[in-house]
Amino acid sequence: MTDGPLKSWLERDKQVLRLQLAQPKANIIDAAMIDALTTALAKHVANSRLMAVVLDAEGPNFSFGASVEEHLPGQCAGMVRKLHALITQMIVYPVPIVAAVHGQCLGGGLEVACAANLIIAAPDTRLGQPEISLAVFAPAASCLLPERIGQSQAEMLLLSGQSVDADKARQIGLVDEVSDEPAQAALAWIDANIIGKSASSLRIAVTAARHDYIARVKEKLQAVEAMYLDELMKTNDAVEGLNAFLEKRKPVWDNTVPGADQ
């Protein structure tokens, strides 16, 4: 089934939900993609046979990231809240979600992947949060990355904007496995470790394993969302960085911090 920018179907006797970003080559995490993911996950959450979800993508890249246009003033608040609702939906989902990534996995695309329980990456994958280069930051990644890879490694990615390759990502714990065929590796992991177990007990186990993690991420996500909308987006540089990217020009920073001594 194709739902706009997303393909979704059930396999393994309706025990595995397949979700595939289907807007190559960029697979932008825009409002339409977020709506499609949200709808597909909600549609299948009550399926008592469901044991796992595999999220992958068509084309040469998993995702270039979020829509820059939709992060400009006027659309920004709605877009950020919509993405954060999807992230929350994923972290509380009652069965394991395995993200299978390849090519560029950046920005909002990496945030979505990090909301999964496991990430399996192809050797060609580049993973990063380049938002700071546009004078913005990644709110969801600011919550998810410290949980996944520790504070210092998270800050390295968030503050530098640099990307890492699959091997480096594996070393720091950002990805759990590197495979030439990440989607097939995800299915193989599910076949070997999940299928055949009690579906009802699995749901309780997933929630139990993530209990404190969910509480921490939800609380921090609310705080950093407010920082993004109420502080960051009131700076001249945030708007300048986004516009410069869209206009394909070098940004001109004024470095003015509201309320600080200049």
| Per-residue confidence (pLDDT) for residue 202, from 0 to 100 | 98
Superfamily classification of domain 1-180+200-262: 2-enoyl-CoA Hydratase; Chain A, domain 1 (3.90.226.10)
Beta bridge partners of residue 21, listed in sequence order? 6, 57
Do 39 and 57 meet the contact criterion of CB atoms below 8 Å apart?
Answer: no
Please report how the helices 76-91 and 211-226 are oriented relative to each other, as an axis angle in degrees rounded to 10: 170
Per residue in 35-83, pLDDT tens?
999 999 999 999 999 999 999 999 999 999 999 999 999 899 999 999 9
| Per-residue confidence (pLDDT) for residue 257, from 0 to 100 | 75
Residue 15 has pLDDT above 60, yes or no: yes
Residue 195 has pLDDT above 90, yes or no: yes
CA angle 207, 225, 260 (to 5 degrees): 145
Do 242 and 136 meet the contact criterion of CB atoms below 8 Å apart?
Answer: yes
Residue 17 has pLDDT above 90, yes or no: yes
Which residues, 6+ apart, have CB-to-CB distance to 163 below 8 Å? 106, 126, 127, 128, 130
- Over residues 17-33, mean pLDDT: 97
99 phi/psi in degrees, rounded to 5: -90, 130
Do 70 and 88 meet the contact criterion of CB atoms below 8 Å apart?
Answer: no
| Per-residue confidence (pLDDT) for residue 256, from 0 to 100 | 79
Please report how the helices 139-149 and 107-114 are oriented relative to each other, as an axis angle in degrees rounded to 10: 50
Residue tagged 């996944």 (tokens) = 148
pLDDT bracket for residue 19 (50, 70, 90) = very high
CA-wise closest residue to 68 among 236, 225, 248, 227 = 248
Per residue in 97-144, pLDDT tens?
999 999 999 999 999 999 999 999 999 999 999 999 999 999 999 999
| Per-residue confidence (pLDDT) for residue 3, from 0 to 100 | 66
Per residue in 212-262, pLDDT tens?
999 999 999 999 999 999 999 999 999 999 999 999 999 999 987 776 655
Beta bridge partners of residue 104, listed in sequence order? 126
| Per-residue confidence (pLDDT) for residue 2, from 0 to 100 | 67
CA atoms within 13 A on the CB side of 115: 26
| Per-residue confidence (pLDDT) for residue 113, from 0 to 100 | 98
